[in-house]
Amino acid sequence: MARRFIGCRLNSWQLTVTAGDIVNITADIWALGMEDTSSTDRYTDSEKIITSDAVSVIPKIDVTEEDIQTFELSIENNLQYIYTADPGTDQPNKFVPRDLRVGMQLVTGSLGLYFDDGRSFLLPDTDKATIELSIKDTLRTNINVVYMPKQRSGAVGPVITEVPFVGVDKAFNP
C-alpha cells in the first residue's frame, strides 16, 4: 500500500553547503489531499551522495570560490490553506482545503568567507548583485541579491566572515 499526494506545493526549501561536507537540502511540501494507491514504484537507482565539490557558487564580487567556506540559501513561499464552505464537488471530504495560496516569497542566505589575511570586505551597498549557483548538472540558476553588512565575531583561529544576503527583484534568473 502506498499514498499519492495531490496538489503539492513547496512551502520552504533550504540548501546548506559546507566545504568538505555533503550537501544538505531540506524541503517542506504541503498537499491539498492524499489517496491510497497500490503503486509498486520504488526508487532503486544507487547514486553517489552529492558533496561540496559538485557545487559551484560564484558570488561575482571580490572573492574567489576558494574563499567560500559555507553557502546557505533559504526560500520561503509562506503557503496558506484556503478553506471555504464548499470545497467543490470533486472533494468527497468537505473538511479539506479548497486551495493552497502562495504568499510573498522570501529568499535569504549567507556566504561564510575565510580570509587568512583579515582584510575588510563588502561595505554595505544597495546595488543588486548576482550569485551563480550550480549543483552537478541538475540545478543551475542565478540569484539576484543585495548583500547585508558583514558580521564578524571575535574568534581564536580562522576568521570566517558571515555575509548575509536577501533575494531581490526576480530573485531567480536562469
Q: What is the pLDDT of residues 43-62, one digit of tens each?
A: 778 778 889 999 999 988 77
Work out the average pLDDT over 6-27: 94
Our measurement of the distance from residue 170's CA atom to the centroid of its chain's CA atoms, rounded to an integer in Å, reads: 15
Return the ∠ at Cα 157 (arms to 151 and 161), rounded to 5°: 20
pTM of the complete model: 0.81
pLDDT for 120 beyond 80? no
Q: What was the pLDDT predicted at 151?
A: 61
For 71-101, what is each residue's pLDDT tens digit?
A: 999 999 999 988 887 656 565 666 778 888 9
Q: What was the pLDDT predicted at 172?
A: 85
Q: What was the pLDDT predicted at 117?
A: 59
For residues 84 and 95, give the distance between their C-alpha atoms in angstroms, rounded to a whole number.
Answer: 9
State the pLDDT confidence band at 169, using cuts at 50, 70 and 90: confident
